[in-house]
Amino acid sequence: MQTLTKKIVQDVGTHLIESNGSTTTLDVKQELRNQGYWAVQHEISTFMSQLADDGVFEYTDNGTYRIYQLSTIATGPVWGQPNITSYQCTLGQYTRIYDHVTRNQAKYKFAKEYYPMFDYPGSTRSQCKAVYTKCKATKLP
């Protein structure tokens, strides 16, 4: 079995997204196993999450699993320019505006900043994820 790295996960994830329009960690794991890598779900999920944090991928969480796409900050819209704008993030009484970011970057920054304000159970990561998932990001003109 071959050794798995974040770069290999990125390459396989990118290939699957370019071929299919989107991918999941399960798809990436299965493709890696087909290529002779020892891949476990937790490790793939960790790498894909890190790649999203790095701005390589963006994802939507459907409540069961994440659906990954190439980040608009990395690929830009059709004409090749980065899709960077301002977003207002809101959850409960807290609101914050972030400039020059993608939607996912704004939500991530909001979650990192405001997760202590909410009484969600679990680790810091799970609390931050709960805020990320529940906050509303509105694109500003």
Chunked into runs of 10 residues, the chain (141 residues) has average pLDDT values of 88 90 94 93 93 84 88 50 75 90 82 82 76 85 79
What whole-number distance in Å separates Cα of residue 31 and Cα of residue 29?
6
pLDDT of residue 75: 46
Query: Pairing relation of β-strands 94-101 and 85-91?
Result: antiparallel
DSSP assigned state of 21: S
pLDDT of residue 9: 95
Q: In 6-136, which residue ranges form alpha helices assigned H by DSSP?
A: 6-20, 25-34, 41-53, 72-75, 103-114, 124-134
pLDDT of residue 103: 79
Query: What topology does CATH give the domain 6-75?
Result: Arc Repressor Mutant, subunit A (1.10.10)
pLDDT of residue 81: 45
Q: Residues 87, 88, 89, 94: what is their CA dihedral angle, to the nearest 10 degrees?
A: 160
Residues of the chain with CATH 1.10.10.10: 6-75
pTM, 2 dp: 0.54
pLDDT of residue 1: 67
